[in-house]
Amino acid sequence: MKLFLAGLVHETNSFSPLPTSLQSFREGVLIHGSEPEALQRLIEQPVFGGALQAAGRQGDTLLAGLFAEAQPAGPLPRADYERLRDELLADLQAALISPGVDAVLLALHGAMLAEGYPDCEGDLLQAVRALVGPDLPVGALLDLHCNLSPAMVDSGAVLVACKEYPHIDYAARGAELHGLLSAMQRGELRLHAQWQRVPMVGIFGTTQSPMREFVQHLQASEGGGGVLSVSALHGFPWSDTEYTGAALLTYARDGVDASALVDTLAQKFYALRERASSPCLPMDAALDAALTAMAESSGLVVLADSADNPGGGAACDSTFLLRALLQRGVQDAALGMIWDPLAVALATAAGVGARLMLRVGGKVGPMSGDPLDLEVEVLACRADAAQAGLVPGSRDPLGAAVALKIQGVDVVLNSIRQQVFSPDCFTELGIDLQSKRLVVVKSTQHFRAGFDALAAHTFYADTPGSLRKNLSELPYRHLRRPVWPMDVG
């Protein structure tokens, strides 16, 4: 089939101190469908990997549209969102005219906001449907931190979200979505959606019980009885909208009633909320626990600086945990990554082996803490640091980066704001994690894909920051209430 590929990906944090604009996408990924190399660049995007493998096996013709992705931050200006949306629609309109389109496959997030648009994905999917008509198969691959809206479902697009957090199953979900669209295009399948809101917000990692078993239950629910796709949307708590929160979504063959399954799974998801929520300790308590584990056992202790995760819109330059490590005199530790392009440039200019006074972190705003003025030793410099991404074989650039020795802590600074996925963040700069007792990572949950095999113990610290665990402290204006954990019941 002739398959149109495009995407508009942004996880928007209503409370982020960082603005988002067109420049944010230029610094991330911005592929114009009219570019001569657009299709090749689209093929290289990891999010499409599974769908493209399936398309290759089927012999599909691929048609390129706009693909834009930026690091999570605050809402887009209205004009910037409309410009990106309208360019994607124009690419689709041109493809419909010639050579024609048999199906549309989009990469979205599900929690994108712009001024005047509290539901960008719903707006975009409705516009796509209006353009292609009622019968053309349309599908969207979503992040499980999607805030599902009626407009998204009512667009008639098939919405498939990854099931795992860390998001290690995008390839499988892309292949799944391609298979559904292909069967619809051949006239072999008609689907209808059934969904239910789950009144809770939170962070629910799937690497451990009880979410591990819940994901297995989702998988076991697919295929039998005509239900072909089941997605559990966790929601993105830091997008302040009336749609924010968890949801259960199924797609079944026409004539199949999945309402009982949706209700059962929604109730099961809600019942897990207390046990499934990531155990995040206040910063000092988390550090106490990490230091106790270091003293009582061998092996690497991993401590997550959850609130300063740039993958959720934080600045990634907070100094709270680094200051605490230095005040306690912690040795044999590493911390990364602090986003500080200016400090990277100064340390690089000084060169490996240099000792200098350097102001580190704390530059974006109050949620970053105060900058630290420190004597540092430059251990390593890289102009092109990178780390393994969540999709196998992918590499995410970190830009210019340096490793610094600050008392007993090796600290990685980088110049492209990115969370820690992989030990590569440290090893590419010569930091041997096997020689360390403690590593602090600026990430909420994705780090577990790369660090679980190394970690003897893992702890989560609720530091001050844009992704503070205590959601009741956030100044929500639009969140639909009641909702757990702010409201009991």
230 CB-near residues (< 8 Å, 6+ apart): 218, 219, 221, 222, 248, 249, 250, 261, 265
Q: What is the pLDDT at residue 473?
A: 85
- Which residues of the chain fall short of a pLDDT of 50? none
Torsion of CA 275, 278, 282, 284, to 10 degrees: 110
With H, G, I as helix, E, B as strand and everything else as coil, classify residue 81: helix
Contact (Cβ atoms closer than 8 angstroms) between residue 58 and residue 1: yes
Per DSSP bridges, beta strands 395-406 and 409-414 are: antiparallel
The two three-digit tokens of residue 464, written as one number: 């001050």
What type of residue sits at position 271? A
* Whole-number Å distance between alpha carbons of 341 and 52: 36
Contact (Cβ atoms closer than 8 angstroms) between residue 478 and residue 196: no
Q: What is the pLDDT at residue 489?
A: 56
Contact (Cβ atoms closer than 8 angstroms) between residue 134 and residue 156: yes
Which H/E stretch holds residue 130? Answer: helix 120-132
Q: Among residues 342, 415, 409, 349, which one has the least CA distance to residue 376?
A: 409
* Whole-number Å distance between alpha carbons of 134 and 480: 31
| Helices (H) then strands (E): counts for the chain | 15, 18
Domains of the chain with bracketed CATH: 2-276 (3.40.50.2300), 281-469 (no CATH)
Q: What is the pLDDT at residue 391?
A: 81
For helices 49-58 and 170-185, the axis angle rounded to 10 degrees is 40
